[in-house]
Structure 1
Amino acid sequence: MTRHQTPPSEVVFEEEFVRGLTEIFETRIVFNQVLGLKVTSLRGDRVTGRIAMKPDLVGHYTFNRVHGGVISAGLDAMGGLASMAAIGARHMDEAPAQRLQRFGKLGTIDLRIDYLRPGIGEYFDLEAEVLRLGSRVASTRMEFRGADGKLLSTGAGAYIIS
């Protein structure tokens, strides 16, 4: 970051950018609809989301535990969203519509998930942050928490951004 750039945590996104990025994430990425993944906060340095538990997400029927694939897919999606937000913050000199066009090449190149506790609850909160945004790759860290705030899983991902 040059000394003239605003730190990502202080970037205030335009309503058009937030609306567009949320629409891409919640609507155009159809699998996120299957998960029920919703954006709850969108900043240049950190994003949050929520998944409400529903019968379609059960992995262990006896305990009504969320499937590990839901956790993995949710954390992966949030890492991608954090990367998009960081790119959006980096290019604040561009119009919102122009920044939204930058996400066409974004894809996961590495993903690691650590399952720490069983996922049981009525909803789950997800958070992701970009640790490093290079010219070609973004590195992220993600968390998956229960409704009580307890950490259930963590993730680390790398995303191709160009």
Structure 2
Amino acid sequence: MICSPPIVCIPTSNNHAEMSSSPLLAQISRLMNEQIPFHRLIGLEVTRFASDISEVQFTWKPELIGNAPQGILHGGVTATALDMCGGLVAIASVVEGLPHDTPAAEVIQRISRCGTIDLRVDYVRPGRGDTFITTSHIIRSGNKVAVARMELHNQDNMLIAFGTGTYMVG
């Protein structure tokens, strides 16, 4: 098991040669779903995680209201979902670009240094819906920086917001 303070623990294989990026991406997805308190608080759930596209979903609940009279989603929740999803696709592009025999500890160390450099969010419509789906696509992934494009839709495929995120990946 690889752990880094304060709570990040990812079970790993003892045989590094048998590890491929797909099982590792599944482990990272579980980490994002289960071990990040803020993501759990909002209800963010990784539903797709790959280097070409990632997807995060969450369900509307009263605690996420940002405009009480209209009962619409808080803009910070929208930005958080977009940022998380963009960060996921950036991380996936890094992991998938590593040699398959890269030791798990090295992979974890590399992704633990990933972070948001810049986030731009354009709010297109009020955040109304029962379920929200955020998707992200990688625009560019380099040795140090990755850029992602993200969109947030409701269950009726109405575009709520879109964004561009720049992420430190190396």
Q: TM-score, normalised by structure 2?
A: 0.82
Which residue of structure 2 lines up, in the alignment, with residue 14 of structure 1? Answer: 22
Deviation, 1:132, is 0.5
132, 146, 154: which one pairs with 1:138?
146
Matches within 5 A, 1:141-152: 141-152=149-160
Residues 38, 92 of structure 1: alpha-carbon distance in 2 compared, 3 angstrom cutoff: farther
> Is 1:93 the counterpart of 2:65 in the alignment?
no
Q: Is the 8 A contact 1:58 1:67 kept in 2?
A: yes
1:14 aligned counterpart, secondary structure: helix
Deviation, 1:61, is 1.5
Q: TM-score, normalised by structure 1?
A: 0.86
Q: Is the 8 A contact 1:21 1:100 kept in 2?
A: no
Deviation, 1:62, is 1.9
Which residue of structure 2 lines up, in the alignment, with residue 6 of structure 1? Answer: none
| Sequence identity (%) | 33
> Is 1:59 the counterpart of 2:71 in the alignment?
no
The code of the aligned residue for 1:93 comes to H
The code of the aligned residue for 1:90 comes to G
1:114 aligned counterpart, secondary structure: strand
Equivalent-residue separation in structure 1 for 2:22 and 2:152 (angstroms): 27
The code of the aligned residue for 2:165 comes to G
Equivalent-residue separation in structure 2 for 1:96 and 1:121 (angstroms): 42
Equivalent-residue separation in structure 2 for 1:50 and 1:27 (angstroms): 14
Q: Is the 8 A contact 1:80 1:108 kept in 2?
A: yes
Which residue of structure 1 lines up, in the alignment, with residue 87 of structure 2? Answer: 80
1:149 aligned counterpart, secondary structure: coil
Equivalent-residue separation in structure 2 for 1:126 and 1:96 (angstroms): 31
110, 131, 136: which one pairs with 1:128?
136
Deviation, 1:102, is 2.0
User: Structure 2: which 5+ runs fail to align?
Assistant: 1-19
Equivalent-residue separation in structure 2 for 1:101 and 1:24 (angstroms): 14
Which residue of structure 2 lines up, in the alignment, with residue 27 of structure 1? Answer: 34
Residues 44, 92 of structure 1: alpha-carbon distance in 2 compared, 3 angstrom cutoff: farther
User: Structure 1: which 5+ runs fail to align?
Assistant: 1-11
**How large is the RMSD of aligned CA atoms in angstroms?**
1.6
Q: Is the 8 A contact 1:126 1:143 kept in 2?
A: yes
